Chain A
Amino acid sequence: MKKLGTALLMLALAACGRPTEDGGQAGGGRSLIQNKGSDTLVNVAQAWAENYKEINPNVAVAVTGGGSGTGISAMINGTVDIANASRKMKDKELEMARGNGIEPVEWTVGYDALAVFLHEDSPVESFTLAQLAEIYGEEGSIDTWDQLGVEIPGCDSNEIVRVSRQNNSGTYVYFKEAVLGKKRDYKMGSRDMHGSKDVVDLVLNTPCAIGYSGLAYATHEVKMPCIAVEEGGECIAPSVTTAIDRSYPIARPLFMYTAGQPEGAIKEYLDWILSDEGQCIIQNKGYAPVRTVTCD
């Protein structure tokens, strides 16, 4: 039964995978923009799409999640007009796009501060990037909380429970590049959660845990220590403000990709996203806009 269901689903997906030929043609009638990709961006992308209905009722934007990789490969295959991504396109993906005769154009639509999460009872107030690298990085030397000179109430075993993300999420890739460096891998044995929300859920219930995720997923029940680039350097707390002025060390750009220079409705939509109005929407969702904007 289960196998039959899977097969039917695959057929259904194949049937849905047709390219939107009229996408982006701002002709006389309504046009549909297909937008797909990063789960980090999906809430914002939906908010943009909804608000855009009032700006231009002739354009409908259909938003789906699925992950940065999914969105980018759909853009390469021509099934969507705009791909959302929380990481840059990989060389291999650029190659594949060029193989299909597509020259992807990158648009930076906002920034996301990656916060480090701790249990609310944790006495730790700050980390340096080097400490985080020793905790998360392969062959890193820090495995227990007493090595940092702290004792966590409710964490008798002293073990640092590393909470991470599955190995191809944009968040995972960016944290690795920003904290561990391009060449270093993560230490084996971290709890790799499927989704930023699960990271927060696990950390707030686990005194020994440390995790990371986009700032937008933070709740009041987890603690977010400040991050210093080096020992003795200024320690910056994650916030929309520190992400806008780039003082927070682990804030990443969020991208949209189009297949070639966009025209018509797609171009208008992207221009609106980058306008003050569009940027206020991303700010309201807990991300940083590409420049300082004043919103009501």
Chain B
Amino acid sequence: MGGVSAIIFIIGIFIFITKEGLPFLLGRFDIVEFFTSPRWRPTSEHNPTYGALALIAGTASVTGLAMLVAVPFSLGAAIYIGEFATGRTREILKVLVELLAAIPSVVWGFIGLSIMNPLIIKLFNVPVGLNVLNAGFILGLMAAPIMTTIAEDALKAVPDTYREAAEALGATRWQVIRRVVIPASKNGLVAAVLLGVGRGFGETMAVLMASGHSINLPTSIFDSVRALTATIAAELGETAVGSDHYRALFTLGIFLFLITFIINLTADLVVRGIRKK
């Protein structure tokens, strides 16, 4: 039942956003402009433009930096929790990681806006602290808990016999982890990273508040950017229903949906890869 209803809902959502976005896709939409122009200016009175390049670059740069933060952090945490920690430490750490996942994204955004912003201005002497660095760091911390949990599951799925066999051959603990456990759980770890990427692409509120929400092709991590999701969140509430702008936002939605769908599907196929073995 649960599975069937999930499928119905996903198909329903896809039909809904496609229906709302389609008139734009078939009419005003210019695929070259959409993917190559950084000028997103849908409310201009005399010359509205719908270039999404800056938004795509914004989402990609923030997610990329987030992964640089989250991957070492979460894989390290997963290896420690899964392979080294025992008893109480392990339980406490697991609870803490889950607690980190429970912090609402608007709170992260608030931290970005009122704590990280002045900190970045002071530390790096840049004009504004709402930028790729701020949003990427925060998004990395947000994606890390779910990645840690999935990565730890992947490590746990490696049968203990593998470890025992390696240790019997005289391998040290690090050698066991590096040469046996990590290669054996590779697919699960890749899936963890991919789901983190999906989380990064889909995150809205924290990115909206911490990225600076500025249409810009970033050339350094200190540039303000704007994400696809944040654009939809900020603009949809005030557009006239049925206008080109409204439909263009749904087109962004279709694009996002396709990207996250592909990422999640890849992650799923990769996980299936380990199960088959």
Given A6-B13, A185-B41, A206-B127, do A192 and B214 touch, yes or no (CB 8 Å)?
Answer: yes
- By a CB distance below 8 angstroms, the chain A residues around B128 are 161, 191, 202, 206, 208-209
Q: How far is the CA of A201 from the CA of B116 in the complex (A)?
A: 12
Looking at A170, A182, A198, the one whose CB has the most chain B CB atoms below 10 A away is: A198
B interface majority secondary structure: loop
Smallest Cβ distance from A71 to chain B, in angstroms?
9
Query: Is the C-beta of A90 less than 8 angstroms from some C-beta in chain B?
Result: yes
Contact B237 A206 (CB under 8 A): no
Given A155-B127, A189-B216, do A73 and B44 touch, yes or no (CB 8 Å)?
Answer: no
Query: Is the C-beta of A260 less than 8 angstroms from some C-beta in chain B?
Result: no
Among A191-238, those with CB < 8 Å from B are 191-194, 198, 201-202, 205-209
Given A69-B239, A92-B240, A198-B209, do A191 and B10 touch, yes or no (CB 8 Å)?
Answer: no
Q: How far is the CA of A296 from the CA of B264 in the complex (A)?
A: 62
Among B67-82, those with CB < 8 Å from A are none
Q: How far is the CA of A242 from the CA of B121 in the complex (A)?
A: 35
Among B23-65, those with CB < 8 Å from A are 38-39, 41-47
User: Which B residue's beta carbon lies closest to that of A1?
Assistant: B6
Question: Per-position contact with A for B234-247: 1 when CB-CB < 8 Å, else 0?
Answer: 11011111110100
Looking at B13, B43, B128, B241, the one whose CB has the most chain A CB atoms below 10 A away is: B128
Question: Per-position contact with A for B3-22: 1 when CB-CB < 8 Å, else 0?
Answer: 00110011011001000000
Contact A167 B43 (CB under 8 A): yes
Smallest Cβ distance from B28 to chain A, in angstroms?
14
- By a CB distance below 8 angstroms, the chain A residues around B237 are 66-67, 69-70
Q: How far is the CA of A6 from the CA of B215 in the complex (A)?
A: 27
Contact A189 B214 (CB under 8 A): yes
Q: How far is the CA of A67 from the CA of B245 in the complex (A)?
A: 16
Question: Per-position contact with B for A142-181: 1 when CB-CB < 8 Å, else 0?
Answer: 0000000000001111010100001111100100000000
Query: Is the C-beta of B212 less than 8 angstroms from some C-beta in chain A?
Result: yes
- By a CB distance below 8 angstroms, the chain B residues around A70 are 237-238
- By a CB distance below 8 angstroms, the chain A residues around B245 are 168
Question: Per-position contact with B for A114-154: 1 when CB-CB < 8 Å, else 0?
Answer: 00000000000000000000000000000000000000001
Question: Per-position contact with B for A1-12: 1 when CB-CB < 8 Å, else 0?
Answer: 011101100100
Query: Is the C-beta of A46 less than 8 angstroms from some C-beta in chain B?
Result: no
Contact B45 A202 (CB under 8 A): no
Query: Is the C-beta of B129 less than 8 angstroms from some C-beta in chain A?
Result: yes
- By a CB distance below 8 angstroms, the chain B residues around A193 are 213
- By a CB distance below 8 angstroms, the chain A residues around B224 are 189, 191
User: Which B residue's beta carbon lies closest to that of A38?
Assistant: B238
Give chain A's interface residues, CB within 8 Å of chain B: 2-4, 6-7, 10, 66-70, 72-73, 90, 92-93, 96, 154-157, 159, 161, 166-170, 173, 182-183, 185, 188-194, 198, 201-202, 205-209
Give chain B's interface residues, CB within 8 Å of chain A: 5-6, 9-10, 12-13, 16, 38-39, 41-47, 113-114, 117-118, 121, 125-130, 202, 208-209, 212-216, 224, 226, 230, 233-235, 237-243, 245
With A7-B12, A166-B235, A185-B44 given, name 13 new contacts (CB 8 A). A69-B238, A70-B237, A73-B241, A155-B127, A166-B238, A173-B43, A182-B45, A185-B41, A191-B130, A193-B213, A194-B213, A198-B209, A205-B129
